[in-house]
Structure 1
Amino acid sequence: MSRRQGLHIPLFDSENVARVRMASGSASETAQLSSSLPPLPEKRIVLGCGGAGVDYLAVVKQFPQPDDKMRCVSAKVEGGGNAANTLTCTARLGLRPRLITKVANDGLGKNILDELESDGVDTKYIVVSKDGNSPFTYVIVDPQTKTRTCIFTPGDPPMVLDDLSPSSVSSALSGTSLVYFDGRLQETALVIAKEASNLGIPILVDAERKREGLDDLLNLADYVVCSAKFPQAWTGAPTVPSALIAMLLKLPQTKFVIVTLGESGSVMLERSLHGPGMDNMDVDNLFNSLKQNIDDSSIMPTCFPSEVVMLRADGIGQVTGRIIIGTAEKIPPSELIDTTGAGDAFIGAVIYGTLFLSSHGHHN
């Protein structure tokens, strides 16, 4: 998501609503947004570890064919990177985020730091290399299909364990209520995750796609947010609901898994430790029955939770919990720009909601 865009992020928004012509992120607009939200969590410090960079966005009339030459309709240079986007979202929602990442001492790196600081993200734990280049991405925006195509150039030199001292890790974790990982900077992320786990700090992992080292993070995760394809790709289960069962069985520490489904909204499987244990229901049948409640004419996002039951997936196993289906807000085509960073904004809202519920005594 362009970090200069305004926010309009219900907790169960879809991946298709991130870049909307709504607000420029001014103080008055942020205040207006905050007034529509629940009270802020008591504990608001969030630590994130992952990507930050610069996005070069080019809007074209249609996606180019090989060897094409074309003019862009409009162009922007804006902040990007999964972790940076997500933490910017949490800052605009009133939380106090800190970011661990690495940039270079170049023009892009300075812009990244300046923009994050102006949005309220604590940058003192960001490593700045003397030489090399900061991460950047070319983003081709196709307004016809409402999609974006990303070409990523990683930062160089890459982040290594020696970049962050044990005292810096301890300082970054001090007072933190939740730690978030976007699946990048694997070695550094795992060191931070292990220390957070030892301190009893909850961990949320973004499982966008299978990556080296991601399984180690998932094994420590209290909460997981996935892209649409990840659960089945990771578990081999035949359907998304059955894959969620498989994920909770493989990750006994995880309290919930959320899957974003684009314009179809999202679905959560939340583990319960105190279920009635009397009703045994097929997870796919329950999922399909909940979908029958969706009103296609409704514009605003709505949640449809099941009761807490014993959920089973044939050939996989069973867990006690409940399914929650969330619909997506319907954005008029004239307002929808593209999907850049929509998942990052979604996760930022999930972090906000998780801390809010935790601080107000809502537990499994």
Structure 2
Amino acid sequence: MSSHGSSSSSSSSSSSSVIVVGFGGVCFDMVAVLSSFPKPDDKTSCRSMTIQTGGGVANTATCLSRLGIQVRLMSKMGDDFQGRTIVEDLQAEDIDTSFLVVAEGGRSPFSYIIVEQKTNTRTCILTPADPIMVPEDVILSHLESALSGACLTYFDGRFPYAGLIVAKESARKGIPILLDAEKRRDGLDEILDMSDYAVCKMKFLEAWTGEPSMPSAMISLLLRLPKLRFVIVTMGENGCIMLERCMKECPASEEDVDRVLESLKQQEDKSIASPFCISSPVMRMKAEGIGTMVGRLLLGTAEKIPPKEIVDTTGAGDAFIGGVIYALCTNMSSERMLPFASKVAAEVCRSLGARAGLPRLMDPSLSPLLP
């Protein structure tokens, strides 16, 4: 993997020999579609029902496998029906499950996901794994094998204390780390400290930095974490914002980062349905009371999906991260990466559940966004 940050487009290398290690949570999902959410003590009819396997790292692993990336998965589940189903589904997607930990007599995580068609929203009710994955579950000899030849390690934020062992060994071996920082968890900061890339929600960024302005919070994050090459904040149907650290020389003059973002928003053509990216030049950006850094700010749009085509948004964020990881592993430029990841996420929204709509690399919908 080359150093990320060039504004020029790089040709995509073959992904068939690329290996990514994913660490985090798996799940057994029961997905119900309702016309509208019932009131307390009320009843409603289910329009459709499906049982799927999910979990953040498993969804992203499935996305990557369908895009041609080899994935080794590290997680923990019970030896129950749900756990056996999870393993079978992962193996059917050509994901290496030999590094999974199976707890004898344990309970695999499962969730009820309620999709409301009226508002295109979803409600998740999770029953967590028991027992959870702990540092003692990470066998160093297995970890050595899992990381052998890997070009990137991905963490979905689950089981952070066990994940810290994997992150430390990845960092020691010089394997880049990408963290999905959805919300603050005890032990997650240590993994973030070692991460090369971060994808997060605005709520996480606000909580971690204490800054209410998104661009200022992004600068605060990169200044406090010198190893971090970029941070992406995802905003659902409103797209994403990316702040990328650059090492290029640039003018001594400084630009306020909030004004840079406003300038990018003014350039956005809202009539374009397909995802696209608008980038600032490399510049010295400042956040009042925080500091200054050299980098680029990028605005990525989400695909404008016709309402009648939206079925379920479950797993869209996991698919977006899968698109980002694929782009990193194949040396896409940032300008290509954000629209590509948004398109992958959009395809998921057209099917029920987190995996049914995940595209394959040869899917015609992706071809316009590939080099």
TM-score normalised by the chain length of structure 1: 0.86
Q: Give the deviation of 1:64 after TM superposition.
A: 1.9
Separation in structure 2 between the aligned mates of residue 38 and residue 201 of structure 1, nearest angstrom: 20
Separation in structure 1 between the aligned mates of residue 245 and residue 136 of structure 2, nearest angstrom: 38
Q: Give the deviation of 1:41 after TM superposition.
A: 3.7
Give the aligned partner of residue 257 of structure 1. Answer: 231
Give the aligned partner of residue 121 of structure 2. Answer: 147
1:342 correspondence with 2:291: no
8 Å Cα contact 1:57/1:141 also seen in 2? yes
8 Å Cα contact 1:224/1:257 also seen in 2? yes
8 Å Cα contact 2:72/2:97 also seen in 1? yes
Give the aligned partner of residue 208 of structure 2. Answer: 234
Out of 304, 323, 329, which is 2:278 matched to? 304
Deviations 1:107-162 (A, max 9, x none): 11111001111112110000111102111110010011101000111111211222
Give the aligned partner of residue 268 of structure 2. Answer: 294
8 Å Cα contact 2:78/2:103 also seen in 1? yes
- Please state whether the residue corresponding to 2:202 is helix, strand or coil: coil
Separation in structure 2 between the aligned mates of residue 330 and residue 39 of structure 1, nearest angstrom: 29
**Segment drifting more, 273-282 vs 161-170:** 273-282
Give the aligned partner of residue 281 of structure 1. Answer: 255
1:174 correspondence with 2:157: no
Q: Give the deviation of 1:338 after TM superposition.
A: 2.1
1:159 correspondence with 2:133: yes
Give the aligned partner of residue 186 of structure 2. Answer: 212
Give the aligned partner of residue 115 of structure 1. Answer: 89
Separation in structure 1 between the aligned mates of residue 277 and residue 22 of structure 2, nearest angstrom: 27
8 Å Cα contact 1:277/1:320 also seen in 2? no
Q: Give the deviation of 1:244 after TM superposition.
A: 0.4
Aligned-partner residue type, residue 195 of structure 1: E
Q: Trace 1:79-98 onto structure 2 (pairs within 5 A).
A: 79-98=53-72
Deviations 1:203-256 (A, max 9, x none): 000000111111111000000000132212211112111110011011110000
8 Å Cα contact 2:12/2:332 also seen in 1? no
8 Å Cα contact 1:43/1:355 also seen in 2? no
Q: Unpaired segments of 5 or more residues in structure 1?
A: 1-36, 360-364
- Please state whether the residue corresponding to 2:231 is helix, strand or coil: strand
**Segment drifting more, 252-261 vs 39-48:** 39-48
- Please state whether the residue corresponding to 2:233 is helix, strand or coil: strand
Aligned-partner residue type, residue 153 of structure 1: T
Deviations 1:75-133 (A, max 9, x none): 10001100000111111111001110011111111110011111121100001111021
Give the aligned partner of residue 343 of structure 2. Answer: none
Q: Give the deviation of 1:40 after TM superposition.
A: 3.1
Give the aligned partner of residue 11 of structure 1. Answer: none
Q: Give the deviation of 1:67 after TM superposition.
A: 2.1
Q: Unpaired segments of 5 or more residues in structure 2?
A: 1-10, 334-371
Separation in structure 2 between the aligned mates of residue 325 and residue 161 of structure 1, nearest angstrom: 38
8 Å Cα contact 1:275/1:310 also seen in 2? no
Give the aligned partner of residue 35 of structure 2. Answer: 61
8 Å Cα contact 2:17/2:70 also seen in 1? no
Of structures 1 and 2, the one with the larger relative CO (CA 8 A, separation 6+) is: 1
Out of 132, 135, 138, which is 2:109 matched to? 135
8 Å Cα contact 2:136/2:162 also seen in 1? no
Aligned-partner residue type, residue 145 of structure 1: T
Give the aligned partner of residue 22 of structure 2. Answer: 48
Out of 289, 292, 296, which is 1:315 matched to? 289
8 Å Cα contact 2:177/2:197 also seen in 1? yes
Q: Give the deviation of 1:337 after TM superposition.
A: 1.3
- Please state whether the residue corresponding to 1:249 is helix, strand or coil: helix
Out of 45, 57, 77, which is 1:71 matched to? 45
Separation in structure 2 between the aligned mates of residue 97 and residue 315 of structure 1, nearest angstrom: 42
Q: Give the deviation of 1:350 after TM superposition.
A: 0.3
Q: Give the deviation of 1:38 after TM superposition.
A: 4.6
Separation in structure 2 between the aligned mates of residue 42 and residue 103 of structure 1, nearest angstrom: 28
Separation in structure 1 between the aligned mates of residue 13 and residue 94 of structure 2, nearest angstrom: 19
Separation in structure 1 between the aligned mates of residue 249 and residue 280 of structure 2, nearest angstrom: 12
Q: Give the deviation of 1:179 after TM superposition.
A: 0.2
Aligned-partner residue type, residue 167 of structure 2: A
Separation in structure 2 between the aligned mates of residue 197 and residue 133 of structure 1, nearest angstrom: 32
Aligned-partner residue type, residue 210 of structure 1: R
Separation in structure 2 between the aligned mates of residue 258 and residue 46 of structure 1, nearest angstrom: 20
Deviations 1:173-202 (A, max 9, x none): 111100000111111100000010011000
Aligned-partner residue type, residue 39 of structure 2: Q
Aligned-partner residue type, residue 86 of structure 1: T
